[in-house]
Amino acid sequence: MQRDIFTSDHGAFRDMVRSFIAKEVAPFHEQWERDGVVSRDVWLAAGQAGLLGIDVDEQYGGGGNDDYRYYLVLNEEMARAGAHGPGFSVHNDINGQYFRRLMTPEQAQRWMPGYCSGQLITAIAMSEPGAGSDLQGIRTTAVRDGDTYILNGQKTFISNGQLADLVIVVARTDSDAGHRGISLLVVERGTAGFERGRNLDKVGMHAQDTSELFFSDVRVPAGNLLGPEGGGFIALMQNLPRERIAIGTAALAGAEAIFETTLEYCKQRQAFGRPIGRFQHNRFVLAEMATELAVARAFTDKAVLEHNAGRLSNEDASMVKWWDTELCNRVVDRCLQLHGGYGYMREYQVARAFADGRVQTIFGGTTEIMKEIIGRGLGV
């Protein structure tokens, strides 16, 4: 369907992103799947292409463009290609917002050039073995000691965890202050006491390194505090809507791509002397999916424009995340069924999407948490 939220500049950028994926990502993704991690070369190539730090000031090597739609185009094309290995969205849509909003000028000078060039890969460490969606349950502690914080704790399910050079760690700096005692500290690669655990063996997204992280008496310079001490929880709440719309829009783009390939398959695949798409049941399934995707697209694009204007509410971001990720799972499941036995073969994109997409209703806040946020917004 025609989308009127983009300009010709966005179209040119989309063409560039597709060329980048065809050259720098697609030929290597299967190997990355086997390795469980992407090459750092793709990060450097992304930096060279201007795909990292699009909204970062030009003095640090960024694009100086705060139009979210450029990130949207990048995320959509990566999703359409099934290129889940490079964690660009974690770097750009999640971590980048914390850095941009909270960094001091000195921190920006230290970190932003490498952030934009791809030399410094970033991660954010929120989830713990006993604390996922409940951020107030964080147990990792950071105790001030002179000009350092002594950091102790454990994190899990950390995207970019093996490759990350800078990790934003959510830690409790005041155990008696509730959510006001949570702060953000940036831990740098090679810091004594900072250890990476295993690269987690997941159902899908095998090329995306996802790790356990361990902090044992890690001395983090006070100059690596990101934002004010005790301001971490508020920063998390402010940035989560951006994370959620990024996840939702990518899920919808991925669902649309799988639907398009399935529609063509149904026009070509023959059974009982005719294309399988001409059987009434299959035709109805395709009609249902086309309608659901069109309705989701209309709502999602409206939300994108609201986000771009700085007006998107937490409730609406949660709606996008919930609806689009659940829809993606439903669409991909039905598309796999329409492929029959071939749909279960990993050589078909639908099979890989079936495994890769399942986590989208979990990370960034589960569907149940999204409904809770929406319900509270209704006053109930």
Query: Quick one: CA torsion of 131, 137, 138, 139, rounded to 10 degrees?
Result: -100
Q: What is the DSSP string of 259-300?
A: HHHHHHHHHH-EETTEEGGGSHHHHHHHHHHHHHHHHHHHHH
DSSP 310: T
The confidence score (pLDDT) of residue 136 equals 76
CA gap 100, 60 in Å, rounded: 12
By DSSP bridging, strand 166-172 and strand 182-188 are antiparallel
CA gap 75, 92 in Å, rounded: 10
H or E segment to which residue 367 belongs: helix 367-377
The confidence score (pLDDT) of residue 113 equals 98
Give the burial class of 17: count Cβ atoms within 10 A of its Cβ; 0-12 exposed, 13-18 middle, 19 or more buried: buried
CA gap 326, 306 in Å, rounded: 22
CATH topology of domain 234-377: Butyryl-CoA Dehydrogenase, subunit A; domain 3 (1.20.140)
Residue (of 307, 263, 357) closest to 68 by Cα position: 307
Each of the 380 residues of the chain gets a pLDDT tens digit; together they read 678 999 999 999 999 999 999 999 999 999 999 999 999 999 999 999 999 999 999 999 999 999 999 999 999 999 999 999 999 999 999 999 999 999 999 999 999 999 999 999 999 999 999 877 777 789 999 999 999 999 999 999 999 999 999 999 999 999 988 889 999 999 999 999 999 999 999 999 999 999 999 999 999 999 999 999 999 999 999 998 999 999 999 999 999 999 999 999 999 999 999 999 999 999 999 999 999 999 999 999 999 999 999 999 999 999 999 999 999 999 999 999 999 999 999 999 999 999 999 999 999 999 999 999 999 999 99
Could you tell me the residue ranges of all domains in the chain? Answer: 8-120, 123-229, 234-377
> 71-76: which pairs have CB atoms within 8 A and are 24 or more residues apart?
71/246, 72/249, 72/304, 73/6, 73/10, 73/13, 73/14, 73/17, 74/17, 75/246, 75/249, 75/250, 75/253, 76/249, 76/250, 76/253
DSSP 359: G
AA letter at 114? G
Residue with tokens 């185009």: 73
8-120 falls under which CATH superfamily?
Acyl-CoA dehydrogenase/oxidase, N-terminal domain (1.10.540.10)
AA letter at 184? L
CA gap 227, 98 in Å, rounded: 9
User: Tokens for 365?
Assistant: 């806040």
Residue (of 228, 226, 281) closest to 98 by Cα position: 226
123-229 falls under which CATH superfamily?
Butyryl-CoA Dehydrogenase, subunit A, domain 2 (2.40.110.10)
Coil/strand/helix, residue 230:
coil
The confidence score (pLDDT) of residue 179 equals 87
Neighbours of 44 (CB within 10 A): 15
Q: What is the DSSP string of 143-205?
A: EEETTEEEEEEEEEEEETTTT-SEEEEEEES-TTSGGGGEEEEEEETT-TTEEEEEE---SS-
Question: Is 354 in contact with 332 (CB distance < 8 Å)?
Answer: yes
The confidence score (pLDDT) of residue 374 equals 97
Active-site residue set: 243
Question: Is 359 in contact with 132 (CB distance < 8 Å)?
Answer: no
* CA 246 to the chain's CA centroid: 6
Coil/strand/helix, residue 332:
helix
CA gap 287, 46 in Å, rounded: 38
Residue (of 38, 23, 17) closest to 87 by Cα position: 38
H or E segment to which residue 334 belongs: helix 314-338
